[in-house]
Chains A and B, each alone.
Chain A
């Protein structure tokens, strides 16, 4: 069944049918060929209950937050400020992409929203300064995925909800791996650009006064991060509600540092609706596909597969990692988590692993899924912000960063304390 669905997915996507619609069609296919029950009768209920979700409302809020920062000029100034600090590295502005994505990750719970924000401010620069479009856009797509690792994070909220694990502790656990990944991304960029300087574009240095003055421009984002994360840890807002706090904070910051006017508000709202609907068509289609897959016995297939192996702790984790990498090619990430967590997490915990640690490991794998074709939302979002070139370039550009994510997976397995140290230290 998994093979048939993967094949069908590739075929339908190649016909350039919208991805969300393809997921619905595959659901109809599973219903017709792999299930003896009239699953399509559940379609209306699935569409209603997968979109009637108080957790998902965090998506438009985070997108709106990013839109406001972009259109008030705050995002551009953040980007320029980080440019002053990191563009002396081999790879130049590519480091600013990663650094900006890391900073925005701290104010956004969604990887897609993070990538959309950074892509919008960064893409015009690539063309102006003559960067290799592959690595440049790949860095944005990959950097954007940090949005769900560095708190706040919609996906960690979903994980915490489904596994009954403390969300604030998950957030703490994601901080160190998130920053480590950001450094790893910058490290591999340096390495690549030392070997092939042509990929990197110009390295630029700035006078120290300019660098120090640029720090002021980072103030708004740091303020916003403090507001969002602070409201969660002070107990003012639940992690989902914190997205609304973020929107209010973004308005405040835009008013103080940029300016708010009617046209900007209108464009922000239109942009939010456009990106949210784009994501939601895929999320709803994926929910329906998952419903048909689960009804037709995907859970049983996975359980039999895992049981049949009879593995020890390390073997189990390695198989789980491979499973997520493979499923991550094809399945949209939120639904991937919703479907697999009830099956996989009990198996993993049975082997004596910590649920917080596994949550972080899963997030790295989910980040990878966001930039692996054919279903990788961040690739599409970055491509959507480009004026020219093909999707292939973005896909190729992410490969070095996917490698670093694999390194991170290995590091987390070898040294669980990367994730667990911070929550334990603050207990």
Chain B
């Protein structure tokens, strides 16, 4: 029994530290007779929006990538990863666990795939080249965002979304093509964004970029119940749990590395200014989220998704879409 597995970005720690060891070493050891051939979607040069559709067509057996890449085909999937509602890894995990039944349904209906696990990329925080003290200061600024709900939230906050590819961001920040940019704290640290930006807003304005692992449904159904159980047990204990356990530590470490606020294990600490957002300010952003951004999403998603979201994710994070 051979599984063809497509991992997420090969340059990021999630793939190197968790996906690759799990699929190439841990799982084959746990399930006798199982072999795995592993690559990543960037090594295959796949279009980001094609990763799950091709999984559904059986071009490979297992794929994992950021759920946000697939919202073109499934707007309801945006509800998996709402910005600003989860501030710590524990809260994010609770949010994701609550969303899992919905995600499983979406993957079965839209992509002919069985959801196996959801792991986090680090939360997507805001780097600005220029002084900001409150969220209001984002008004009128040009911000590079990735993902639709983040862009909508920034627009609602009065900022203007600009499309710049990741590699062009440092130049764009330096030259004022953008004033701020959203990415994972760790990615921003290793790509040297601290050289070209001064202020770090550690709010997850871009959400947590959940990475969904799924298997082609026909392949999944062809496995016997014992193998299915073994995969489910192993992927939770040996992939999902460790990835989540590391997430909070990584965030604290990455922020320390960028601001010099504490111990940095990844290299030299830098001296960006950490922006503390006041409770009132934060509450205002949450209000905009619940009164504008989420209702718009409910319209995009249609059906009873808003209700399902309120009953699951909303109940956990304490937000209700009106």
Asked if A and B bind, the verdict is: yes
Given A166-B192, A235-B177: A342 and B43 interface contact (C-beta under 8 Å): yes
Q: Indicate whether B166 reaches chain A with its CB closer than 8 angstroms.
A: yes
Q: How far apart sit A234 and B176, CA to CA, in the bound complex (Å)?
A: 9
Given A37-B58, A41-B54, A45-B54: A234 and B175 interface contact (C-beta under 8 Å): yes
With a cutoff of 8 Å between Cβ atoms, the chain B residues found around residue A42 in the complex are: 50, 54, 57, 59
Given A164-B11, A167-B168, A235-B174: A297 and B54 interface contact (C-beta under 8 Å): no
Given A291-B46, A294-B43: A38 and B167 interface contact (C-beta under 8 Å): no
With a cutoff of 8 Å between Cβ atoms, the chain B residues found around residue A294 in the complex are: 39, 43-45
Interface residues of B in 29-59 (CB under 8 A from A): 37, 39-40, 42-47, 49-50, 53-54, 57-59
Q: Is the CB of B59 within 8 A of A295?
A: yes
Q: Indicate whether A339 reaches chain B with its CB closer than 8 angstroms.
A: yes
Q: How far apart sit A37 and B190, CA to CA, in the bound complex (Å)?
A: 36
With a cutoff of 8 Å between Cβ atoms, the chain B residues found around residue A165 in the complex are: 167
Given A41-B59, A290-B45, A342-B11: A164 and B50 interface contact (C-beta under 8 Å): no
Interface residues of B in 55-96 (CB under 8 A from A): 57-61
Q: Indicate whether B171 reaches chain A with its CB closer than 8 angstroms.
A: yes
Q: Indicate whether B228 reaches chain A with its CB closer than 8 angstroms.
A: no
Q: Is the CB of B59 within 8 A of A37?
A: yes
Q: Is the CB of B172 within 8 A of A161?
A: no
With a cutoff of 8 Å between Cβ atoms, the chain A residues found around residue B42 in the complex are: 162, 342
For A234-270 the 0/1 string (1 means CB < 8 A from B) is 1111111000000000000000000000000000000
With a cutoff of 8 Å between Cβ atoms, the chain B residues found around residue A36 in the complex are: 2, 4
Q: Is the CB of B176 within 8 A of A235?
A: yes
Contact of B167 among A164, A291, A339 (CB under 8 A): A164
In the assembled complex, how far is the CB of residue B199 from the closest CB belonging to chain A, in whole angstroms?
Answer: 19
Q: How far apart sit A42 and B59, CA to CA, in the bound complex (Å)?
A: 7
Q: Indicate whether A212 reaches chain B with its CB closer than 8 angstroms.
A: no
Q: Indicate whether A179 reaches chain B with its CB closer than 8 angstroms.
A: no
Q: Indicate whether A52 reaches chain B with its CB closer than 8 angstroms.
A: yes
Q: How far apart sit A346 and B165, CA to CA, in the bound complex (Å)?
A: 21
Contact of A239 among B37, B166, B168, B170 (CB under 8 A): B168
Q: Is the CB of A238 within 8 A of B4?
A: no
In the assembled complex, how far is the CB of residue A156 from the closest CB belonging to chain B, in whole angstroms?
Answer: 10
With a cutoff of 8 Å between Cβ atoms, the chain A residues found around residue B167 in the complex are: 157, 160-167
Q: Is the CB of B174 within 8 A of A37?
A: no
Q: How far apart sit A179 and B73, CA to CA, in the bound complex (Å)?
A: 48
Nearest-neighbor residue (CB-CB) of B163 within chain A: A54
Q: Indicate whether A107 reaches chain B with its CB closer than 8 angstroms.
A: no
Task: Count chain B CB atoms within 10 A of each CB in A42, A50, A343 and give the residue with the most.
Answer: A42
Q: How far apart sit A299 and B174, CA to CA, in the bound complex (Å)?
A: 36
For A16-50 the 0/1 string (1 means CB < 8 A from B) is 00000000000000000000111101100110111
With a cutoff of 8 Å between Cβ atoms, the chain B residues found around residue A55 in the complex are: 165
Q: Indicate whether A335 reaches chain B with its CB closer than 8 angstroms.
A: yes
Q: Indicate whether B191 reaches chain A with its CB closer than 8 angstroms.
A: yes
Given A235-B172, A235-B176, A295-B39: A339 and B50 interface contact (C-beta under 8 Å): no
In the assembled complex, how far is the CB of residue A244 from the closest CB belonging to chain B, in whole angstroms?
Answer: 14
Q: How far apart sit A238 and B2, CA to CA, in the bound complex (Å)?
A: 44
Q: Indicate whether A278 reaches chain B with its CB closer than 8 angstroms.
A: no
Nearest-neighbor residue (CB-CB) of B187 within chain A: A164
Q: Is the CB of B50 within 8 A of A49?
A: yes
Nearest-neighbor residue (CB-CB) of B42 within chain A: A342
In the assembled complex, how far is the CB of residue A307 from the closest CB belonging to chain B, in whole angstroms?
Answer: 14
Q: Indicate whether A274 reaches chain B with its CB closer than 8 angstroms.
A: no
Interface residues of A in 216-237 (CB under 8 A from B): 232-237
Q: How far apart sit A299 and B58, CA to CA, in the bound complex (Å)?
A: 21
**Can you list 7 pairs linking A and B with CB atoms under 8 Å apart?**
A36-B2, A37-B59, A37-B60, A42-B57, A49-B47, A49-B49, A238-B165
Question: B residues engaging A (CB < 8 A)?
Answer: 2, 4, 10-11, 37, 39-40, 42-47, 49-50, 53-54, 57-61, 164-168, 170-172, 174-177, 187, 190-192
Known: A165-B167, A234-B175, A297-B39. 10 other contacts (CB 8 A): A45-B46, A49-B49, A49-B50, A164-B187, A166-B167, A166-B192, A235-B177, A295-B44, A339-B45, A346-B11
Closest 5 CB pairs of A and B: A235-B175, A49-B47, A161-B167, A294-B44, A45-B50
